[in-house]
Structure 1
Amino acid sequence: MDILSIVGLVIAFVAILSGSVLEGGHLGHLFQLTAFVIVIGGTIGAVLVQTTLPTFWRSMVIVRWVFVTPQIDLDETIDKIVNWSQLSRREGLLALENASETETDQFSRKGLQMLVDGNEPETIRDVMETEINTIEHEDMLAAKVFESMGGYSPTIGILGAVLGLIHVMNNLADPEKLGSGIATAFVATIYGVGFANLILLPMAGKLKTLVKRQSVQFEMTLEGIVSISEGENPRSLQAKLQSFVGRT
């Protein structure tokens, strides 16, 4: 569980709502179903026009990373790779077959299987680098879905405000309704700007960071497997892999 995401959202919303109350506002005025439907529905509709279905679906899958961070422990990955290296030096590459069968990470499993199958280091590197680039590209596109939502949301909020003002203009004959009507119209703008800057854009930023960290872990795994294939000493391999830790 990523406690920072939860704490950040709580602090942001508490600060804004408390500020509204301190200014003499009424919280009930900030909750408008119509404005919510316009902003959320319009934002999702706009991003669906822009995005392909696989990318949108992937974005819905990785959004949980904002609150449940994927396991990216580089020190643990180094220990695992060094153990593979020591095992292969003692018993040969075929001894890694059991490790490949029990490995839970699909990327590592694929690399180990290529190693056991006797592929050349260049072949392993080419295949796994291609997979790293593909995964990173797809996940970055998915993260940018929320970035796009953050771009559309304020504009949709303004659109909602204009629609509300049109309704207000139709009631000019009743001055008593003008104040509350205008206030209600601008709630859509608050929703648009708020969703963009408190939720959507921060989520996109965190997802991009996590995608980069995942790529570093994959690159570390790739370098380790290629080094094992080349028969590199476990101590030298460990020192090489340590250089990846500072990149996250």
Structure 2
Amino acid sequence: MNFLGIILAVGCIVAGMLLEGTSPLMMLVLPAFLVVVGASFFACWVQFPLSDMIGGLKCILWLLSPPRIPFDSQVELLVGLSTTARQQGLLALENSIGSASDDYTRDGIQMIVDGVDKDALKSILENAIAVEEAKYEPYAKMLEAMGGYSPTMGIIGAVLGLIHAMSLLDRPDELGPAIAVAFVATIYGLVVANIICLPASNRVKGIIGQMTLYKYMTLEGLVSIAAGENTMMLKRRLAVYTGEKNENA
């Protein structure tokens, strides 16, 4: 549904043009597109390595299909692990490693089985969260930066178009359409920034935040299991995270 928002936003702009009697085909100007999108992209390349550029563009696909973050099923898994550990001991958790849906949880369970101290377990899992946040943060920043550059590139495109229009002063019949085309780049810049890049950046930040919350919930559960806390105490700990998840959904 997130990508649908982009379509509807652009649709509102097109509808406004039609109501004013302007043809949307006037917006199909390849030079303006190249100046805004192309120049903004390569300006970001100056700021970010290519790997972050590619990662940022891939994150745009989250608007179509955001990653599934299974809070509820994770709570069920952790409660089940706690029950197993209390009844059969920590070594019995080895049989449940395959039930985990992500490597983070599987690694945590394996460390419990291997007898890693709960303080060391907490430290390792917290470091893993920090590393993942550091991995994804540049992707959101790349989209945000492109949203910042594109309006300026739109102005550059408009100025270039006006320079061309000034060369047509001796042809008044061509001057008006040339000026109109010149301002298309400005519209491109504003649309790319305010309908695509900046909303996408904020959406990526939101998803990263949910992924981080999910892993902190998992960390809390695994440390609780390693410490031998009873299952009811574990449920109380996890309820805090699921409550926050529901408020942000």
* TM-score using structure 1 length: 0.95
Query: How many corresponding residue pairs?
Result: 245
Residue range with higher mean Cα deviation, 175-184 or 50-59: 50-59
Percent identity over paired residues: 39
Residue range with higher mean Cα deviation, 211-220 or 56-65: 56-65
| Match of residue 142, structure 1, among 127, 139, 144 | 139
Q: Partner residue of 1:67?
A: 64
The code of the aligned residue for 2:204 comes to L
Q: Partner residue of 1:203?
A: 200
Q: Summarize deviations over 1:183-219 as a string: whole Å, max 9, x none.
A: 1110000000011101111101111011001100000
User: SS in structure 1 opposite 2:101?
Assistant: coil
**Residue 102 (structure 1) shift:** 4.3
The code of the aligned residue for 2:39 comes to G
Quote the Cα distance in structure 2 between the aligned partners of 1:240 and 1:102: 21
**Residue 247 (structure 1) shift:** 2.5
Q: Partner residue of 2:13?
A: 16
> Over the residues paired in the alignment, what is the CA RMSD in angstroms?
1.3
Q: State how 1:33-52 maps to structure 2 within 5 Å.
A: 33-52=30-49
**Residue 182 (structure 1) shift:** 0.5
Quote the Cα distance in structure 2 between the aligned partners of 1:31 and 1:54: 31
Question: 2:77, 2:100 within 8 Å by CA — same for their partners in 1?
Answer: no
The code of the aligned residue for 1:29 comes to M
User: SS in structure 2 opposite 1:243?
Assistant: helix
Quote the Cα distance in structure 2 between the aligned partners of 1:99 and 1:54: 35
Q: State how 1:1-248 maps to structure 2 within 5 Å.
A: 3=1, 5-248=2-245
Structure 2, unpaired ranges of 5+: none
**Residue 174 (structure 1) shift:** 1.1
The code of the aligned residue for 2:147 comes to G
Question: 2:3, 2:63 within 8 Å by CA — same for their partners in 1?
Answer: no
Quote the Cα distance in structure 1 between the aligned partners of 2:205 and 2:28: 31
Structure 1, unpaired ranges of 5+: none
Quote the Cα distance in structure 2 between the aligned partners of 1:115 and 1:78: 18
User: SS in structure 1 opposite 2:183?
Assistant: helix
